[in-house]
Amino acid sequence: MIDESVVAGTLSEALKTGGEFAEVFVEDRRSSSALLDDGKVEELSSGRTRGAGIRVVVGDTTGFAHTSDLSEAGLAKAARAAASAARGGGGG
């Protein structure tokens, strides 16, 4: 899903911008559903949810950011936002 080196870089970015602890959560979920009415298919749908959440802790404060951009740059931006929120900057 995401290369280990990209995750390591994301954690490094979160820590170098002030975090004392950081973690990354990644989700890639597919779903399908069918609506039946009296045995007859009325509606079919499918979807995919992808994204990552990054949590950064500074002292007693936790910052969180999420992104659907799973590129190295997108994850780094979210890591900086989470670290900023944890430092009391409100994200960014």
* Contacts of residue 42, Cβ cutoff 8 Å, sequence gap at least 6: 35, 36
Residue ranges for the chain with pLDDT beneath 50 = none
Alpha helices (runs of H) in the chain, residue ranges in sequence order: 4-16, 72-86
Euclidean distance between the first and final Cα of the chain, in Å?
26
Determine the pLDDT at residue 22. 97
For 60-85, the pLDDT digits (tens) are 999 999 999 999 999 999 999 999 99
Determine the pLDDT at residue 68. 96
Asked if CATH classification 3.90.550.10 holds for the domain at 4-86, the reply, yes or no, is: no
Determine the pLDDT at residue 60. 92
